[in-house]
Structure 1
Amino acid sequence: PFLCSFCTIINVQGRKSRFRTPDDIEKLVRTNLAQGIHKFFVTDDNFARNQAWEPILDRLIQLRELEGLQFKITIQVDTMCHKIPRFIEKSGRAGVDRVFIGLESINPDSLEGSRKHQNKITEYRSMLQAWHKVGALTLAGLILGFPTDTPESITRDIQIIQKELPIDLLYFFILTPLPGSQDHKELYEQGVALATDMNTYDSVHVTMPHARMSEQELLGAYHQAWDTYYTPEHVETVIRRAKAWQFSMNKVKWMMLSFYAAAKVECVHPMDSGVFRRKYRRDRRRGLPQENALLFYARYGWEIVSKHCRYVGLYVMFHRAYRQVVKGSPSGTVDMAMQPVQAEELDTLELFTATPAAQIVVEKLKKKITNHSAVLPIS
């Protein structure tokens, strides 16, 4: 239902909603459970806007609560899904334990420029805390490379997220004008020089010029983003939050490790990564010669050994943070992200004060609240 300019779905697949019936969903769940599969990923780009979300969730709740079937579900939603009555509560009861959220940015200018009008930064904290209340892990995507971004502003935004938003896993993309998106159409018509190698349109390469960063600066900011978020201190903070809202601390440790290791060791996005990287000598891009077998397997063997040594080093770092929480060591600071949402925070949190655009959004919200209060009937 939305018009995000970087999205290809609305132009390629269309805007007409397509969905399975509750009967279809039940049949799929039962068939897979019979084969020992207990985890499901609902691939709707935004399940919260699926016209049949409630009957589907009701059917899944029936399977879990009345028949005792055990399964877990991962879904994708927008940042205003908590405003849909009963949606998050029923999602939790239906077995949703992981939620991918299209956060994209905490800068209203970037959201407005990409036509992501539905994202309201003043609702982020309420939405994230609502998911934690039903036991769902939150995974949020942050897009880097909006026109107003700089390496410094990207680092600042990530640090604000660490302190003030209870996001569990954060992953990063470089803003990419995917063919089929409105961004690509407009840039092509303007004659902007875009990357000609379609293999680079994977959201981890720079494919278009940026107004305030060179290609190397933007690529460097992308790689630095992973280091900024997945510090030992923040890993411990996220695990401590999981303990507070009663999610598996060990699972959080492993998921954070897998995300960070994919980016830093394998140098691929976590969504493209796995447990072990297999390579085949004869798998080459068209036009490239086959490598010598001795050289290929010698290098491949060294890569396997060196990468797993790095994996072990990262595991030790993440496990140390995990042990700190298990031992009950106090953090020594108040975790603002876990504090209840209050009206006063509009004037104090950096989320709402760091940029002029954020301050304007807050002022508009305050006026809306004031005007609404003024017309309330007196009982």
Structure 2
Amino acid sequence: MQNTKPTAATRFQVELIKPSHYDDDGYVIQWVKAWIPSNSLATLCGLTRHANATRVLGPAVEIANAVYDETNTVVPVARIIRRIRRNGGHGLVCLVGVQSNQFPRALDLARRFRQGGVQVVIGGFHVSGALAMLSDLPPDLPPELREAQALGITLFAGEAEEHFADLLRAAYAHRLEPLYNFMSQLPDLQGQTMPYLPPEVARRYAPMPGTFDAGRGCPFLCSFCTIINVQGRKSRFRDPDDIERLLRANLDAGIRHYFITDDNFARNRNWEAIFDRIAAVRRELGVKFNFTIQVDTMCHTLPGFVAKARAAGVSRVFLGLENVNPANLKSANKKQNKIANYRTMLLAWQYQRITTYCGYILGFPDDTPEGILADIETIKRELPLDILEFFCLTPLPGSVDHQTIHAQHGPLDPDLNIYDLEHVCTTHPRMTKAQWQGVYRAAWDSYYSLAHLETLMRRAAAFDRNPKRIMEIALEFYGCFKFERVHPLQGGFLRRKVRTERRPGLPIERPWVFYPRRVREVWTTYSGLIAYAWQVWRLYQRVKKDTERPDYRYFDQAMEPVTGPPEAAGG
């Protein structure tokens, strides 16, 4: 037990924090405005608000909460400690949605809160994944989780919907257990409290977004994935009524852009009813809701899926392309990916004028630097996708890959901070670490060359899309990688570095050293980005001028239908 002190407060303070992680220099990755919201943070915020509304701690006890996403906010640790102390110690800090690469930062924050006498819970994919995949191997807990428990930190594994009220009651009574493991008790989502981000928090992202999951779980067996072992292979779903209530409730706050975080929305059995309901609400209210979804590479075979996605307001779709080498896909147990279907699938989305984002993983067993770059040339020539994001194959805790290497006592880098999909964390049979890391950088440079950006812009225009969008997205994605040296999934606008927020073990630089160096960094970063943006802008202007000619036509190999236009083409 952490504390047995009785309590009789009329106010209980809940502080919800989504931690970031450290960059290669040990500084927390933060932005003035981040790009991607945390659904875990929104989920816990919704549950906390519901707990207060239903007075789960008693009719006279108010539950107050504050919400922080460290990717766009400096967490006021000292202020939070003072606030809870002034409240007689009646409060709880929840570090939520903590991924493996974020666990070192989460533990450092938690250590400071515990030193201030504050109760702390850590939950998220790392804790859940480690318990799901490693609990039957000696020792029972990985060392970082044992370290957390030794500090008096409570670990929470599983999903919170049906257990959060009990956790709050235990924290209110100062009787938190060291571990809550609900991995075998995954909740039905229908009728559950919907995720919620307060407007003042949502405004710290660009654009101002909403986030929700219409379903959880995935039926596939990809060996590198943690979803199937954390959220389960049995899919669970919300219904259209839940989604409609969320959309209407957020309208007053001006939220119209949403990221639907389902790992695979196409396998949500309610996809058609949800799309139809959203389309009906759009027509009724005259509001252009805008959505980003994640789907598999076979989604276009579902009758009407792509056309209905467009009618509902889907403007961006993320696809786990993963690789174009059949041997690599087989080794990853990615049997649902069929190379022959890729072009047909991508054309289906292009015909609906929806921007495609594809993930591509580097470091499968058959990969070599030369083979990787040759495969990227094939993609550039033959597949009509828009944005390609590269990742290093990473044995994430919670995945079969990690479990297998761990059981075999194989090489795993002990620093969880680099398990961020852009650093090499293990060995490879055909590449050195330097070669692997080097071809990761070369892959970005190859795909986002000016020559290929011109191709992407001309394709976009041929599909009746504005090529300016390609320019904007390329600057965001490649610019973030190239000039900020951060993967765009961790990106944002205007990088912030706080001098005193540096990884323990690294020196806190003196102001007269840190600030002049930081000025030079900003100048170098943004002068390079501006120069690159000027090149891309000139390219866009040339393409735009060409495409405005009445006789302009463009066609290339990637636009050639494989067996005729797919089903979605007429939608």
Fold match, TM over 0.5?
A: yes
Take 1:89 and 1:229, find their aligned partners in 2: how far apart are those partners?
28
Deviation at 1:172, TM superposition (A): 0.1
Match of 2:433 in 1: 215
Match of 1:299 in 2: 517
Q: Does 1:338 align with 2:559?
A: yes
Match of 2:363 in 1: 145
Take 1:218 and 1:77, find their aligned partners in 2: how far apart are those partners?
28
Match of 2:408 in 1: 190
Deviation at 1:226, TM superposition (A): 0.6
Take 2:231 and 2:391, find their aligned partners in 1: how far apart are those partners?
22
Q: Does 1:308 align with 2:529?
A: no
Letter in 2 for 1:193: P
Taking the TM superposition and a 5 Å limit, the aligned residue runs for 1:1-379 are: 1-328=219-546, 334-342=555-563
Letter in 2 for 1:340: P
Take 1:51 and 1:23, find their aligned partners in 2: how far apart are those partners?
15
Match of 2:168 in 1: none
Deviation at 1:140, TM superposition (A): 0.2
CA shift digits 1:99-155 (9 cap, x unpaired): 000000001110010000000000000100001111210000110000000111111
Which secondary structure state, in structure 1, belongs to the residue aligned with residue 276 of structure 2? helix
Letter in 1 for 2:345: M
Take 2:322 and 2:283, find their aligned partners in 1: how far apart are those partners?
35
Match of 2:5 in 1: none
CA shift digits 1:146-204 (9 cap, x unpaired): 00001111111111100100010001000000001000111111121110100111111
Which secondary structure state, in structure 2, belongs to the residue aligned with residue 122 of structure 1? helix
Letter in 2 for 1:155: L
Confirm or deny: 8 A CA contact 1:174 1:222 kept in the other structure: yes
Count of aligned pairs between the two proteins: 343
Matched-pair identity in %: 50
CA change 1:141–1:232 in 2 (3 A) is same
Confirm or deny: 8 A CA contact 1:177 1:183 kept in the other structure: yes
Task: Give the gaps of 5 or more residues in structure 1.
Answer: 344-379
Confirm or deny: 8 A CA contact 1:233 1:321 kept in the other structure: no
Deviation at 1:64, TM superposition (A): 1.9
Which secondary structure state, in structure 1, belongs to the residue aligned with residue 315 of structure 2? strand
- The structure where helix makes up a greater share of residues is 1
CA shift digits 1:25-62 (9 cap, x unpaired): 11111222222222111000100011211111110111
Letter in 2 for 1:262: C
Deviation at 1:333, TM superposition (A): 8.0
Confirm or deny: 8 A CA contact 2:458 2:554 kept in the other structure: no
CA RMSD of aligned residues (A): 1.6
Deviates more, 1:328-337 or 1:202-211: 328-337
Confirm or deny: 8 A CA contact 1:128 1:138 kept in the other structure: yes
What is the TM-score of this pair, normalised by structure 2? 0.59
Match of 1:363 in 2: none
Take 2:441 and 2:424, find their aligned partners in 1: how far apart are those partners?
12
Structure 1 segments (4+ residues) deviating >6 Å: 329-333
Take 2:553 and 2:371, find their aligned partners in 1: how far apart are those partners?
28
Deviation at 1:287, TM superposition (A): 2.6
Letter in 2 for 1:229: Y
Confirm or deny: 8 A CA contact 2:343 2:384 kept in the other structure: yes
Deviates more, 1:320-329 or 1:44-53: 320-329
Take 2:416 and 2:285, find their aligned partners in 1: how far apart are those partners?
49
Deviation at 1:327, TM superposition (A): 1.2
Letter in 2 for 1:165: L
Take 1:264 and 1:332, find their aligned partners in 2: how far apart are those partners?
33
Match of 1:353 in 2: none
Letter in 1 for 2:557: M
Take 2:311 and 2:561, find their aligned partners in 1: how far apart are those partners?
23
- The structure where strand makes up a greater share of residues is 2
Deviation at 1:321, TM superposition (A): 1.7
Deviation at 1:247, TM superposition (A): 1.9
Take 2:517 and 2:285, find their aligned partners in 1: how far apart are those partners?
53
What is the TM-score of this pair, normalised by structure 1? 0.88
Take 2:233 and 2:344, find their aligned partners in 1: how far apart are those partners?
28
Deviation at 1:19, TM superposition (A): 2.6
Letter in 2 for 1:41: F
Confirm or deny: 8 A CA contact 1:236 1:324 kept in the other structure: no
Which secondary structure state, in structure 2, belongs to the residue aligned with residue 300 of structure 1? helix
